Structure 1
Amino acid sequence: MPINADYRGPAELPEVIPVFPLPGALLLPRGQMPLNIFEQRYLAMIDDSLRDGHRLIGMIQPDAAHSPDENKPKLFKVGCVGRITQLAESGDGRYILELTGVSRFEVVQELSVKTAYRQCKVDYFPFIDDFTARKGEDDVDRAALLAVLTDFLKANNLKVDWEGIDKAPNEALVNALAMMSPYGPPEKQAMLEAPDLKTRAEILIAVTEMDLAKKRTSGDPPLQ
């Protein structure tokens, strides 16, 4: 994991962080998320994060289903803070960056701020296990995960680097597959809020199995 900072617990992270609401975006601890930043308010957010020195951005999904104001949608209660570990300028006003996940957080309060981007007071303590790499990965049913991955790849005519998957530890494998999964905000949020790695893997397996079953059913000829 390409990261210079060693965060050993919640006390080493700021209580107030800028947040980037993005539907369908799932960042998990020690996972890498590429971002293409072009809106002025988020360019300012990146500049401020670099200027302040913490290089931290909170990724969180907007809760569109419960948002009366489309211009400022309500946020889900749980997100994940990431550190900017790669940054490049595109030459046309954009930032191309990569976030490395540090820890999930609960939103305590969204603050009234003068910045164009939103900021929240957050609490990391409910997810203190996020600071321990690979915690609980021995409980993951790797065989079941790989079986459903194989079915998904076949159903969608996709290929994957099996050598890389075989070498990946369970935490990296589960989190990478969850982050790359093509599912909607509710499914992504469920995987984000899973209490442990085993549960996250089980949710990913269940959602994928339901998706595959739905595709098989819709592809069947109509009954006579």
Structure 2
Amino acid sequence: MAQHRRADAEITPESLDRLPIFPLPRAVLFPGVTLPLHLFEPRYRALAERCVEGDRLIGLAALQPGFEQDYLGRPPIFPVMGLGHITAERRLADGRWNIALRGVCRVEVLEERPPDDPFRVVRARRLDERERRGDQAAADRLRGILLQLMLRLPQVRDELGSLLSEARRPGRLADVAAGLLIDGFPARQRLLEETDVARRLDHLLELLTDLVLATAGVGDDDLGPH
């Protein structure tokens, strides 16, 4: 796929005033996490083409329960979503698209624009994180849990190693860890909606402590003497 560097500075008031969205069931995009996406419906082929030619920004929205009755229309979405930047794309011969969408920040939908395009467009605002002085202590506890899970979950060992070496801020550490390790949609959406870093870390620590207990004994031979 064609590669493009990520650029947070591309998020402008104009971008958020008319933000194209890609609604999917149970879709959660955390900042710092990259998702591969396949766009095959005609309306989303048009979405990909417009975004690749423009600022390369897409809101990845989760459809609310019951969307099946109006899937081809404009079924309700969760108002808080991840804003992503297309970092790589490939247009296939039949018009379908494969893209890599990297989460940049959280946004909240303020209103949906009239249906002037084949795809849905919203007006949104950026949601900033609320950080506290004590966040680093919780982040250090999270790092300890992630080190344990590196040994117990070889399928995500490389990703966790990169996370521990690259994620400096507590909020980003929590986001990428959630993107890698939390499976259930309700928990993922709740973590996405939480802009208070301390509360996000506390909830994530609870979830990952349960995961540590569930994987007890897996890879423990690598932990050394107890």
TM-score, L = length of structure 2:
0.73
Q: Is the 8 A contact 1:23 1:185 kept in 2?
A: no
Count of residues paired in the alignment: 207
Q: Give the superposition deviation at 1:152.
A: 4.8
Q: Is the 8 A contact 1:59 1:81 kept in 2?
A: yes
What secondary structure does 2:101 align onto? strand
Q: Is the 8 A contact 2:163 2:176 kept in 1?
A: no
CA distance in structure 2 between the aligned counterparts of 1:68 and 1:91, rounded to whole angstroms: 29
What secondary structure does 1:69 align onto? helix
CA distance in structure 2 between the aligned counterparts of 1:159 and 1:199, rounded to whole angstroms: 25
- 2:57 corresponds in structure 1 to 56
CA distance in structure 1 between the aligned counterparts of 2:133 and 2:51, rounded to whole angstroms: 32
- 2:184 corresponds in structure 1 to 184
TM-score, L = length of structure 1:
0.74
Q: Give the superposition deviation at 1:155.
A: 6.1
CA distance in structure 2 between the aligned counterparts of 1:5 and 1:105, rounded to whole angstroms: 13
What secondary structure does 2:85 align onto? strand
Distance 1:24 1:68, change over 3 A: closer
Cα deviation, 1:121-153, whole Å, max 9, x if unaligned, reads: 2222xx1459xxxx6697242332234335556
Q: Give the superposition deviation at 1:47.
A: 1.0
- 1:69 corresponds in structure 2 to 69
Distance 1:210 1:96, change over 3 A: same
What secondary structure does 1:115 align onto? coil
CA distance in structure 2 between the aligned counterparts of 1:156 and 1:113, rounded to whole angstroms: 45
CA distance in structure 2 between the aligned counterparts of 1:31 and 1:188, rounded to whole angstroms: 13
Distance 1:180 1:23, change over 3 A: farther
CA distance in structure 1 between the aligned counterparts of 2:15 and 2:84, rounded to whole angstroms: 11
1:40 to 33, 39, 42: 42
Distance 1:170 1:200, change over 3 A: farther
The answer to whether residue 126 in structure 2 is matched with residue 118 in structure 1 is no
1:59 alignment partner AA: L
- 1:222 corresponds in structure 2 to none
Cα deviation, 1:16-64, whole Å, max 9, x if unaligned, reads: 211111233322334333222222221111112234x222111111111
Distance 1:158 1:100, change over 3 A: closer
Cα deviation, 1:94-143, whole Å, max 9, x if unaligned, reads: 3221223333221112233043322212222xx1459xxxx669724233
- 2:198 corresponds in structure 1 to 198
1:190 alignment partner AA: R
CA distance in structure 2 between the aligned counterparts of 1:36 and 1:215, rounded to whole angstroms: 32
Distance 1:151 1:129, change over 3 A: closer
CA distance in structure 2 between the aligned counterparts of 1:215 and 1:5, rounded to whole angstroms: 37
Q: Is the 8 A contact 2:20 2:47 kept in 1?
A: yes
Unpaired runs of 5+ residues, structure 2, are 217-226
- Residues 209-224 of structure 1: matches in 2 within 5 Å? 209-210=209-210
CA distance in structure 1 between the aligned counterparts of 2:120 and 2:156, rounded to whole angstroms: 39
